[in-house]
């Protein structure tokens, strides 16, 4: 009876959708459910974010305030009061899963969130974890907390794992057009999970278990991390040989089968790709398996900021300068082009290396006007406007993130030295060093 009532509510859109965590994953989900006619209740511990959303403003650059305003008109409400979890029929957990200082999974956000909602859960709800994690998390960490007050997964409450697949600011793929993997703890849980996402997502991919869904997410991102590690290593080899790796990639990409182009850079960024390999390697050790191939790719990618810094120091040295005392500006501190997302950005590692070695640091990023508060990194800096005088005053420019808003012709015309980590400029330019 619990399942039947839940399925009916989800089908006729009388169900209330609760989204816990209103960041880069939670906000797009909220907007999608609101746009198709569900009542949405959002939960977040950040009181300022809740206030902004209830005032019709987004804290995420690529999400327009008008869309938040429309959601408010449709009945969306944000709150910090977890007592109201009881009002929701479908609950999605979109909370961070970072690494701790030992590069091990930090599950505290998932477990503390489950602990917060557990007292207010009731019969007839479906709870979906969307956060990236290792296989077994839903079964071992989430389920015991959902069942703490006598509820039974698959009978009175329904547990699902469905990994997020957001690509911020990518207009070609939106929340509802990206196929969504769904795994349930039981067959009834899977049925509830599919009903939860049925109206919101164009294509659903059911799998046999929550562990399968969890492993699927890791494979997707580890595949990308490993291939980026490969091309980053190829970049170093090609540089030693005097070969333009970007020309090589462009030529290789003409092959119509068996090759997918990946591009090198200053390191990995974003919430998933730099982190997911460590989730699997950590869990694999429990089973006596050493994931050497994955760990090697992680080592290469993690070392890329050091490689870029080495190129900077060498280029300055050739100009009879040292990093210490030199004015060095980083262009682009978001983790990828055309977004304001700073999660795991390799630019931050570069900035710390410049600062720690005595460089006079500044940055310019049209998407990040002020360096944000971050758990492990802090700079009292604001973005500087790029003018000919500002560029000419720098001893070196590190092009770390290739935003479309940058005037690259003006930059190369006035900069003394450009460390190009993104292949924006052709090789051979007198003031450009590829890194």
Q: Which residues are catalytic?
A: 272
CA-CA distances (angstroms) from residue 53 to 39, 57, 155, 345? 15, 5, 35, 25
* Tokens, residue 295: 């760990």
144-152: which pairs have CB atoms within 8 A and are 24 or more residues apart? 145/111, 145/114, 145/115, 145/118, 146/114, 146/118, 146/121, 148/118, 149/118, 149/119, 149/121, 151/121, 151/122, 151/123
User: Which residues, at least 6 apart from 131, have a Cβ–Cβ distance to it below 8 Å?
Assistant: 93, 94, 95, 96, 97, 109, 110, 164
* Tokens, residue 125: 């709800």
Cα–Cα distance for residue pair 321/330, rounded to 1 Å: 18
Q: Are the C-beta atoms of residues 346 and 313 closer than 8 Å to each other?
A: no
Q: Are the C-beta atoms of residues 210 and 184 closer than 8 Å to each other?
A: yes
Q: Are the C-beta atoms of residues 234 and 266 closer than 8 Å to each other?
A: no
* Tokens, residue 300: 């290469």
Cα–Cα distance for residue pair 76/64, rounded to 1 Å: 15
* Tokens, residue 186: 């039981």
17 half-sphere exposure, CB direction, 13 A CA radius: 33
Cα–Cα distance for residue pair 347/369, rounded to 1 Å: 15
Cα–Cα distance for residue pair 253/173, rounded to 1 Å: 22
């Amino acid at each position: 009876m619990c399942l039947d009532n839940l399925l009916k509510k989800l089908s006729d859109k009388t169900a209330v959708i609760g989204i816990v965590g209103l960041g880069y994953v939670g906000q797009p989900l909220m907007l999608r459910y609101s746009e198709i006619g569900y009542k949405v209740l959002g939960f977040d511990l950040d009181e300022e974010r809740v206030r902004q959303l209830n005032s019709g403003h987004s804290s995420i650059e690529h999400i327009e305030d008008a869309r938040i305003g429309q959601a408010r008109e449709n009945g969306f409400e944000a709150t910090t009061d977890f007592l109201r979890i009881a009002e929701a029929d479908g609950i999605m957990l979109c909370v961070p899963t970072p690494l701790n200082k030992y590069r091990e999974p930090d599950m505290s956000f998932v477990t503390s969130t489950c602990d917060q909602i557990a007292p207010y859960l009731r019969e007839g709800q479906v709870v979906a974890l969307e956060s990236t994690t290792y296989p077994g998390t839903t079964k071992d960490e989430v389920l015991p907390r959902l069942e703490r007050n006598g509820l039974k997964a698959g009978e009175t409450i329904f547990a699902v794992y469905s990994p997020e697949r957001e690509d911020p600011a990518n207009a070609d793929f939106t929340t509802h057009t990206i196929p969504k993997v769904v795994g349930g703890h039981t067959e009834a849980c899977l049925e509830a999970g599919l009903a939860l996402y049925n109206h919101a997502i164009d294509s659903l991919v059911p799998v046999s278990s929550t562990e399968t869904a969890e492993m699927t997410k890791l494979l997707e991102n580890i595949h990308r991390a490993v291939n980026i590690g490969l091309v980053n290593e190829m970049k170093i080899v090609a540089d030693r040989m005097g070969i333009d790796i970007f020309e090589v990639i462009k030529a290789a990409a003409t092959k119509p089968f068996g090759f997918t182009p990946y591009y090198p850079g200053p390191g990995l960024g974003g919430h998933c790709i730099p982190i997911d390999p460590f989730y699997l390697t950590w869990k694999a050790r429990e089973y006596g398996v050493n994931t050497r191939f994955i760990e090697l790719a992680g080592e290469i990618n993690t070392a890329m900021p050091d490689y870029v810094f080495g190129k900077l120091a060498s280029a300055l040295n050739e100009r009879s300068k040292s990093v210490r005392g030199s004015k060095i500006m980083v262009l682009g501190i978001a983790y990828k082009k055309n977004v304001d997302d700073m999660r795991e950005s390799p630019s931050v590692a570069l900035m710390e290396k410049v600062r720690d070695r005595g460089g006079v640091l500044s940055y310019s990023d049209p998407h990040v006007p002020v360096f944000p508060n971050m758990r492990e990194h802090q700079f009292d800096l604001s973005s500087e406007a790029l003018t000919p005088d500002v560029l000419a005053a720098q001893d070196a420019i590190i092009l770390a993130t290739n935003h479309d808003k940058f005037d690259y012709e003006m930059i190369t015309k006035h900069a003394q030295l450009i460390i190009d980590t993104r292949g924006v400029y052709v090789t051979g330019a007198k003031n450009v060093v590829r890194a």
